[in-house]
Amino acid sequence: MATVHEIQADRRELEGKGASRRLRHADKVPAVLYGAKKAPESIQLDHKLAMLYSQNEWFYSSILLMKIGGETQKVLLRDMQRHAFKPRITHLDFQRVSETEKLRLKVPLHFVNQEISPAGKTAGVTVTHELNEVEIYCLPKDIPEFVEVDLSELKEGDIVHLSSLKLGAGVSIPSLRLGKEYDLAVALARMAREEVEIAPEGDAAAAAPAKGAAPAKGAAAAKGAAPAKGAAPAKGAAPAKGAAPAKKK
């Protein structure tokens, strides 16, 4: 089971865009708390604390012990909104946790033993991590802090799928019930290939002059090549063999 982490919040009475704007100016983050068959509740967090929480992996995938006044309740972060270009959190959504109700949530994947695997020791083989998190379904008490992906046996050409992940008791991946096409690749090992740039056939053809074409203006004719039909010989050049001398005007 994942470690429970504490966060601090306060209730707020005022709602609406204007109230939320004033809260942000006061360095607070407006938030909402819902679920567990209770009415939604408007709350707020200190922005500096919220930014500190957001820098930890557990804030997104673990049960949080929220302290509001003298009360404590278990919650999960469900949504976070950030400013478009400023390093600020603008809104948070939390869901209350019921110990008897199963939850869907995403937890991170931790890849281990890649360096000691056959693929990791083979020159030219690239190991790619296709996913960095997975959605699971379980009771709150069974939520893992992360899912470990052991790559110690990975060889060139191997693919690790979602169905290969080792999950704890009571934990499942709901997408696998939808069919084989949802059994996504989590990691794979393949030989890296060098890409050789080959000039297109049309470019090579364009580089050589067409058969019977006259040389470009100002370009010298190829050694031993006859002048184009009807063209006057170059100044000072000897007439071609067997050619009649030019008539005098």
Q: What is the pLDDT of residues 110-132, one digit of tens each?
A: 999 999 999 999 999 999 999 99
The whole-angstrom separation of Cα 186 and Cα 199 is 36
* 97 three-state secondary structure: coil
Share of residues in the chain with pLDDT > 70 (%): 76
The pTM of the full predicted model, rounded to 2 decimals, is 0.68
Q: What is the pLDDT of residues 89-118, one digit of tens each?
A: 999 999 999 989 999 999 999 999 999 999
Q: What is the pLDDT of residues 155-199, one digit of tens each?
A: 999 999 999 999 999 999 999 999 999 999 999 999 887 554 555
Four-residue CA torsion sign, 111, 113, 114, 118: negative
Q: In the predicted model, is pLDDT for residue 238 greater than 80?
A: no
The encoded tokens of residue 46 equal 């200190």
Q: In the predicted model, is pLDDT for residue 200 greater than 80?
A: no
Q: In the predicted model, is pLDDT for residue 243 greater than 60?
A: no
Q: In the predicted model, is pLDDT for residue 235 greater than 80?
A: no
Name the residue among 64, 90, 54, 92 with its Cα closest to residue 8: 64
Q: In the predicted model, is pLDDT for residue 240 greater than 80?
A: no
Q: In the predicted model, is pLDDT for residue 249 greater than 90?
A: no
pLDDT score, position 73: 92
Residues 6+ apart with CB under 8 A from 24: 30, 47, 88, 90
Q: What is the pLDDT of residues 26-77, one digit of tens each?
A: 899 999 999 988 899 999 999 999 999 999 999 998 999 999 988 999 999 9
CB 175 within 8 A of CB 135: yes
Q: How many CB atoms lie within 10 A of CB 41?
A: 16
